[in-house]
Amino acid sequence: MNDGKDLMPTMSSSLPIYKSHGEGNWGGTIKVEKVDFVNFLGKSRCGARHVVFESNPDGSDKIPPHSFNSCKFTNVDDIGFAFLNKPNPGWANVKDCGNFPCTAPNNLIFSFKGTTYSGAMPSASSRDFTLVPDDKQVAGTYPGCNHKPAMQAYVCLTNNIGMLMFESLDEDAWDRAI
């Protein structure tokens, strides 16, 4: 983050801890290896949403690509697999994102390789696939993607989806619209 925090904590973190407190990072990638996910069937005993993957509802600027290698899903169905949040329309204001909501949720990439399943399975139970958000203008144009409304996502039978980052390094980058 770019918010210039002290090296050592001087106070407790603001809650919720997953909320973004700075600008989107340039780099960062998340790798998950050989993790078993067991018994995610969409609802908790109290009826709350209970899914393996849910995007950060406060991640407005950048969510790094996630790579899952050799993970196993046991008793995980479509509804319990994922729920990808859409951009908050409230972000579309001059102070925050400008004329439209920031698009990090639409650029989310969960890439899976060597995946195995047992018990209840999601309908798109492939070894290698990529989970991307329910954005018809982006994922809807990729070949080999299946729309999954319950997840608010597309499941794409490919690993050819990547994230391009670009940034102005000019001195006036912070106060000049490009």
Partner 1 sequence: MMDHIWDAFYTGQRRMARFPAALWTDEDYTIEFSGTNPKKMRFMLDARVGATKLRIPYPVAGSIQVYADGKKKSMTPWDDALGRNGPLTKNKGCGENRFVGIENFLEFYITPGCLIEIEPKDSIMTKVRMDWSLAEFYSDGGTTRFVDRLAASLGISSSRIKTVAIYEGSVVV
Judge contact between 43 and 88, C-beta under 8 A. Answer: no
15 touches partner 1 by CB under 8 A: no
Q: Which of 15, 90, 95, 136 binds partner 1 (CB under 8 A)?
A: 95
Work out whether 175 is an interface residue with partner 1 (CB under 8 A): yes
Q: Rounded to the nearest whole angstrom, what is the least distance from the CB of residue 157 to partner 1 in the complex?
A: 13
Task: Establish if 87 lies at the interface with partner 1 (CB under 8 A).
Answer: no
Amino acid (1-letter code) at residue 112: F
- Listed ranges 11-19, 72-80, 94-102, 115-123: which one lies at the site for partner 1 (CB under 8 A): 94-102
Position 148 contacts partner 1 (CB under 8 A): no
Is residue 149 reached through a cis peptide bond, with omega within 30 degrees of 0 on the bond before it? no
Please tell me whether residue 132 binds partner 1 under the rule CB under 8 A: yes
Backbone φ and ψ for 95, nearest 5 degrees, come out as: -70, -35
Helix (H) or strand (E) holding 81: helix 78-81
What are the structure tokens assigned to 59, written together?
């991640």
